[in-house]
Structure formats: structure tokens, C-alpha cells
Amino acid sequence: MAEHTNGTANANGAATLTHTRSGDKTASGTPPCNLKDAWAMRNATTQAMLLAEAHMQAEIASASLEELIALVETFSPTRSTGPEWTRSFEPLVERLWLRCSDETMVALEADFTARGMPWMAVANAFSPERGAQLRERVRPTAWGRLPRFTIA
């Protein structure tokens, strides 16, 4: 018998997968999706991700320094530590380094450095050395539609 995977996501984007055998129902009572449905869902998800990424790029490119600081402040290391923080913060840092000017990145680094030790992990993400590493690692390919971003 074939196995199927059904999934859900919570508010933080964490996925929960349920594997079922063909003909079984999931815990919610819905039949598992078939291969055709899974492919359609994959294509829709990919399109949604491309649209969301294009929107995020445009928002970052047009944001003021104050707006960028306010966004980064939501990643306070004292409130959010551990792998969840890194998985969501690193993709943001990549996008900032690819879409913001060097002057903006210097200003971000200076602002968070001035806040002291609790913010040093954030400030270090905006150092010129870190930016050079990220820009080299995430450089888009000639044939790719988007740079190779980290997916959170």
C-alpha cells in the first residue's frame, strides 16, 4: 500500500507531517492527498514563495533606516535565543545584505553595536566581513530566478 504525507503548519511556520497508508484517513478525518494533488500543492507553494520573496525584496529596498531598525528589533536575542532565532534571523540578514546599500548596513551595525552586549550577535551580522561572506555565498546564478537564500 502506498503511503501519503499530510502536513500542517503552526503560526510560527513549523510543519507537522502525518504519514498515512492509501485509503486511511488522517486524524482530522480528511483523506490523504494523492500524487497529483501533492504536485499541484508543491507548484502553488513555489509560486507563493516566489511572490512573497519579490514582495519582501521590494519592501526591503524601499524601507527607511528606521523601518529596518524596527524590523531587526523584533529579533531581540534576549527574547529569542537558540536555533529558532537563527533560522529566522539569518534569512533576513541575507536579504538585507543583498538589497540594502553599504551605508545602510554600516548604520545598522552602528545602531546595534551602540546597544551593548545583548545586541552584539545582531551587530556582528551587519559587520562588513559578514556581509562580504554572505554576498559571496548567496550570489545569484546566471540561470536562477532568485539568489540561493536560506529558507526559514
> How many other C-beta atoms are found inside a 10 Å radius of the C-beta of residue 41?
12
How far is Cα 95 from Cα 26, in angstroms, rounded to an integer? 38
Q: Is residue 139 part of a domain?
A: yes
Q: Is residue 8 part of a domain?
A: no
How far is Cα 95 from Cα 116, in angstroms, rounded to an integer? 24
Q: Is residue 78 part of a domain?
A: yes
DSSP designation for 146: S
Q: What are the helix (H) ranges across the chain? A: 35-62, 65-73, 83-99, 102-113, 120-125, 128-137
Residue 17's φ and ψ, nearest 5 degrees, are: -110, 140
Q: Is residue 14 part of a domain?
A: no
Per-residue pLDDT of the chain (152 residues), as tens digits, is 444 445 555 555 555 555 555 555 555 656 667 889 888 988 899 999 989 989 999 999 999 999 999 999 988 766 666 666 667 888 899 999 989 999 999 999 999 999 999 899 899 999 999 999 988 887 766 555 555 555 54
Q: Is residue 27 part of a domain?
A: no
Q: Is residue 123 part of a domain?
A: yes
C-alpha cell at 32: 490523504
Total domains in the chain come to 1
Q: Is residue 106 part of a domain?
A: yes
User: Looking at residue 87, what is its pLDDT?
Assistant: 77
How far is Cα 36 from Cα 42, in angstroms, rounded to an integer? 10
Q: Is residue 90 part of a domain?
A: yes
Structural domain of 130: 51-152
